[in-house]
Amino acid sequence: MKWNIQWTLNKRLAATALCLGFLALIAGNPHEGGRYEIDSRELALIVDKEIDHVGALELADWIIQNKADYRLIDLRSEKEFNEYNIPTSENTTLTALETYPILRNEKIVLYSDGGIHSAQAWFLLRAKGYKGVYILRGGLEEWKDQILFPRIAENATKEELAAFERIKEISKFFGGTPQTGSNEAKSDVSIAMPKLEMKTPAKQGTTARKKKKEGC
């Protein structure tokens, strides 16, 4: 008798499995990265309050400290990237971003020349369910102004001078040339962009970045 009950249980289990399997067949594909609904108000708020912005100084600090919990992505063309890029960055374009190997749980910092391209990429990634997406405020332009070629007025106060000393250090780290004086004659023409000294990481998938294997 007991055997009889057992058999019906097994049959029931098999039927359940078949039903669920059939549902899977109809469902087709699982949603890549889950289902995300875009909350436009939330996005607007984020944009408005600039929560998703990273300042040039902040980013410079991260790079100096060798922080590894984020990925820096350069959205300019390959040619521009090869001429100069922020150390540790990886290059991809807006169109290639969709297939670029970044994961949804990664912190991503985007930059382009100004802010437009990275802002567009930001929306693209947010819509696809990426949560930790940030933009370098002011893009490469601001990076140049603040880090590579910082400038201080001659009539600066003591506090400003003290703060500038720190920026000078940072600037030197990135091979920049800090300048004093508001002399506009010393225009950007005379200052060369720093040469690429720090090796940028080769394009690598996320598995290569993992320190420890997850396999058996």
Partner 1 sequence: MNGPFYKYGMFNEEISLIVAFVIGIGFGFFLERAGFGSGRKLAAQFYFTDMSVLKVMFSAIVTAMLGVFFLSWMGFLDLSLVYVNPTFLLPQIAGGLLLGIGFVIGGYCPGTSAVACSTGRIDAMVYIGGIFAGIFLFGFVFPLFKDFYYSTPMGSITLPQLFNISYGTLVFTVVLMAVGAFVMAEWGEKKMAQKKGAEL
Partner 2 sequence: MSLALDEKTAMTKEEIKAKPYWNPYLSGIGLGLVLLLSYVIMGRGLGASGAFTTTASVVVETIAPDYARNNEFYSEYLTDGTRSPFKDWLVFEVIGVLVGGFISGALAGRIKRTVEKGPRISTKMRFVFAFSGGMLMGIGAKLARGCTSGQALTGGAILNVGSWAFMLMVFAGAYALAYLMRRQWT
Beta-carbon contacts of 176 under 8 Å, excluding residues fewer than 6 positions away, are 147, 148, 149, 150, 194
Structure tokens at 57: 């100084």
Beta-carbon contacts of 45 under 8 Å, excluding residues fewer than 6 positions away, are none
Contact between 33 and partner 1 (CB under 8 A)? yes
Please give the residues from 101 up to 120 whose contact with partner 1 meets the rule CB under 8 A.
103-105
Give the nearer residue to partner 1 in terms of CB position, either 10 or 183.
Answer: 10
Contact between 10 and partner 2 (CB under 8 A)? yes
Contact between 35 and partner 1 (CB under 8 A)? yes
Q: Closest approach of Cβ 9 to partner 2, in Å?
A: 7
Distance CA 74, CA 42 (A): 26
Q: Which residues pair with 71 in a beta bridge?
A: 108
**Member of 12, 22, 98, 182 binding partner 1 (CB under 8 A):** 22
Please give the residues from 68 up to 97 whose contact with partner 2 meets the rule CB under 8 A.
none
Contact between 185 and partner 1 (CB under 8 A)? no
Please return the burial class of 79, using the count of CB atoms within 10 Å of its CB with bins 0-12, 13-18 and 19+: exposed
Which of partner 2, partner 1, none has residue 51 at its interface (CB below 5 to 8 Å by kind)?
none
Give the nearer residue to partner 2 in terms of CB position, either 10 or 82.
Answer: 10
Measured CA distances, 33 to 30, 36, 71, 116, 213 (Å) = 8, 8, 19, 26, 22
Distance CA 64, CA 9 (A): 63
**Member of 1, 5, 25, 189 binding partner 1 (CB under 8 A):** 25
79 and 62 in contact (C-beta within 8 Å)? no
Please return the burial class of 121, using the count of CB atoms within 10 Å of its CB with bins 0-12, 13-18 and 19+: buried
Tell me which stretch binds partner 2 (CB under 8 A): 3-11, 127-135, 171-179, 180-188: 3-11
Contact between 214 and partner 1 (CB under 8 A)? yes
Tell me which stretch binds partner 1 (CB under 8 A): 50-58, 99-107, 117-125, 164-172: 99-107
Contact between 159 and partner 1 (CB under 8 A)? no
Contact between 213 and partner 2 (CB under 8 A)? yes
Distance CA 134, CA 111 (A): 9
Residues that bind partner 2 (CB under 8 A): 6, 9-10, 13, 212-216
Residues that bind partner 1 (CB under 8 A): 10, 13-14, 17-18, 20-36, 103-105, 129, 131, 207, 214-216
